[in-house]
Structure 1
Amino acid sequence: MAAYAVCVRDGQVLLARSPADDGTPEWVLPGGGMEHGEDPYDTVRRELLEETGYRIEVTGLLGIDSRRHRFVRESLLARVTDHHHVRIVYSGEIAGGELRNEVNGSTDMAAWHDLDAVPDLRHIRLVDVALRLWRERPAAGRFAQEQS
């Protein structure tokens, strides 16, 4: 379980940069994993502060991104791992703080990007899903073709 926020200001979206499995940097939505017993609302506020230096006001619940994915772990036994992501996506507005990069965390940079430039950035799928949720605001918090 994880919680993320779409923060858009003046035609730009706030993103954080994180290394992919191969070490290549890619842009991600600010946010991250819930701690045991933590409310998702508190998670997204904590994670945004850690990764970007900003305090946010959560302005809405955009939806849930639920993905199941299976992959083979490289080991002597070559076991199949069945992983299920449940990611809560909020909208948020900057309420204070100053943009800074995270130190000794899961990301190494935070930056504002023009919304039109996002497709050309190396980024994870969740960025596209979250921006679509932000633009379309589906009543059910998900898209019909994504239901299983």
Structure 2
Amino acid sequence: MRRTMNLSIGYFIAAMISGVFYREFTKWNEYTQPTVLGVLHTHLLILGVGVFLLLAVLNKQIKIERNKQYNSFFLLYNLSLPLMMLTMLLRGITEVKAISLSKMFNGMLSGVAGLSHIGLAIALCLLLFIIKKELLREEVKQ
């Protein structure tokens, strides 16, 4: 549970930094249009802080970390989420700075973002099955 809470705190710090960066970076560049940077903060809060706070509570109640598949979920999720945040950051910076990306780099950025989204989807699906299995195990105990 300790590593889960530490991770939640780490994602909270990253979310706060990304919110300040978005506000200041767009202000310095006099950018007023919507940008991907605007949703980076909320993605980190929900997918980072929210998910790991929920996991800390679930671990306290039903010990989901004892599940053999939990480490697979944990690794995949914590590789995919930062990768997705990095692609969002890069995309947002290029939008604000009006940097014209080459077709190859634009495709690569979109491809990496897509792969990170797929990784998150697989990890969250795995988490749902882990939670279901552990809830059923607790139900059988009672």
Question: Where on the TM-score scale, by shorter chain, does this alignment land: which range?
Answer: under 0.3
- TM-score calculated relative to the size of structure 1: 0.26
Larger radius of gyration: 2
Question: Whose strand fraction is larger, Structure 1's or Structure 2's?
Answer: 1
- TM-score calculated relative to the size of structure 2: 0.27
Question: Whose helix fraction is larger, Structure 1's or Structure 2's?
Answer: 2
